[in-house]
């Protein structure tokens, strides 16, 4: 059984006051709804994490960091460690987002090092993978995703992966308004599950949540979330709008199984 998750990645949006207001509203929504085991996550900027984790403490809404450093402590200007996240009771960390890979040079090796640090600290990683438009056009999407998985998971054993969540986010669908068709998304999610079965074991394959990300909106979510190997969504733009995000949560509650 996989965990079913609706997660919002706020990227570099919303000043502190607005972020906290929206988190409070989404948290109130989650408290008032029957979520049927669906986990709801918001990843605001580092600046918001202390307060966001405080106001959601003991509530249904979970808070995630958008990234972390791979080192335990030390002279790494501008960085935030997993120990710092743990100390403020922040349990979830997104790593390997395509924007980190594309704009800030996060390589598979660096993502692997971050993933190991996250797991060592006892936090829960959401590992992002996904091919570019050129890769998709060349028919290389499975090759690319397999190589990202191989790079990110290098040196880890099946037992290490109990808390792993993967987000499949085709780069060509992120923030572009283009979405993978439900079948394209399902095919890749199935491919990832098979990869986990082949390289680890059936338990990892059956219990790793695989989220889809890439222009998920209320009008396309139902079909995407109904696919057998899609366990929820990692949502950018639509998670910044209260009405859209709460609608996505409702759709998740209705169709994610």
So which residues are the catalytic ones? Answer: 97, 169
DSSP conformation class of 239: G
- Tokens read off for 77: 């200007």
Considering only 2, 4, 5, 9, the residue that binds ligand PEP (CB under 6 A) is 9
Considering only 113, 237, 244, 246, the residue that binds ligand PEP (CB under 6 A) is 237
Instruction: Determine, following the binding rule CB under 6 A, whether residue 251 of this chain makes contact with ligand PEP.
Output: no
What gap in Å lies between CA 32 and CA 121, rounded to an integer?
Answer: 32
Q: Of 8 and 200, which has the nearer Cβ to ligand PEP?
A: 8
Residue window 200-229: x/- pattern of binding to ligand PEP, with contact defined by CB under 6 A: -------------xxxx-------------
Main-chain phi, psi angles of 210, to 5 degrees: -120, 115
Residue window 130-169: x/- pattern of binding to ligand PEP, with contact defined by CB under 6 A: ---------------------------------------x
Instruction: Determine, following the binding rule CB under 6 A, whether residue 240 of this chain makes contact with ligand PEP.
Output: no
What is the smallest separation between the CB atom of 198 and ligand PEP, expressed in angstroms? Answer: 27
Instruction: Determine, following the binding rule CB under 6 A, whether residue 234 of this chain makes contact with ligand PEP.
Output: yes
What gap in Å lies between CA 96 and CA 102, rounded to an integer?
Answer: 10
Tell me if residue 110 falls in helix, strand or coil. helix
Instruction: Determine, following the binding rule CB under 6 A, whether residue 232 of this chain makes contact with ligand PEP.
Output: no
Determine contact, residues 152/201, Cβ cutoff 8 Å. no
Instruction: Determine, following the binding rule CB under 6 A, whether residue 170 of this chain makes contact with ligand PEP.
Output: no
The set of residues, in sequence order, having a beta carbon less than 8 Å from that of 193 and lying 6+ positions away, is: 205, 206, 208, 210, 229
Residue number with the shortest CB distance to ligand PEP? 236
Residue window 174-203: x/- pattern of binding to ligand PEP, with contact defined by CB under 6 A: xx----------------------------
Question: Strands, E, within the chain: which ranges?
Answer: 5-9, 39-43, 62-65, 92-95, 124-129, 165-168, 209-212, 232-235
Instruction: Determine, following the binding rule CB under 6 A, whether residue 42 of this chain makes contact with ligand PEP.
Output: no
Instruction: Determine, following the binding rule CB under 6 A, whether residue 92 of this chain makes contact with ligand PEP.
Output: no
- Tokens read off for 89: 């009771």
What gap in Å lies between CA 26 and CA 53, rounded to an integer?
Answer: 13
Cα→Cα distances 106→45, 122, 159, Å? 18, 22, 25
Q: Interface with ligand PEP by CB under 6 A: which residues? A: 9, 169, 174-175, 213-216, 234-238
């Amino acid at each position: 059984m996989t965990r079913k998750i609706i997660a919002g990645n706020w990227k570099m949006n919303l000043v502190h006051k607005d972020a906290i207001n929206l988190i409070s509203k989404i948290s109130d929504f989650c408290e008032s709804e029957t979520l049927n085991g669906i986990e709801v996550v918001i990843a605001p900027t580092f600046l918001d994490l202390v307060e966001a984790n405080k106001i959601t403490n003991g509530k249904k809404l979970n808070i995630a960091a958008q990234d972390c450093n791979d080192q335990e402590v030390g002279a790494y200007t501008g960085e935030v460690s997993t120990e710092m996240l743990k100390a403020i009771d922040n349990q979830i960390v997104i790593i390997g987002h395509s924007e980190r890979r594309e704009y800030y040079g996060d390589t598979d090796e660096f993502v692997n090092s971050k993933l190991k640090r996250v797991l060592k600290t006892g936090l829960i990683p959401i590992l992002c993978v996904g091919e570019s438009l050129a890769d998709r056009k060349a028919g290389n999407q499975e090759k690319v995703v397999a190589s990202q998985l191989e790079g990110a998971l290098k040196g880890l054993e099946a037992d290490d992966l109990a808390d792993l969540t993967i987000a499949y986010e085709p780069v060509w669908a992120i923030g572009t308004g283009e979405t993978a068709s439900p079948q394209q998304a399902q095919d890749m999610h199935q491919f990832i599950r098979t990869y986990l079965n082949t390289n680890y074991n059936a338990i990892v394959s059956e219990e790793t949540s695989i989220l889809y990300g890439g222009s998920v909106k209320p009008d396309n979510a139902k079909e995407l979330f109904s696919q057998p190997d899609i366990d929820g969504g990692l949502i950018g733009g639509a998670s910044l709008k209260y009405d859209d995000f709460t609608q996505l949560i409702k759709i998740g509650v209705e169709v994610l199984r």
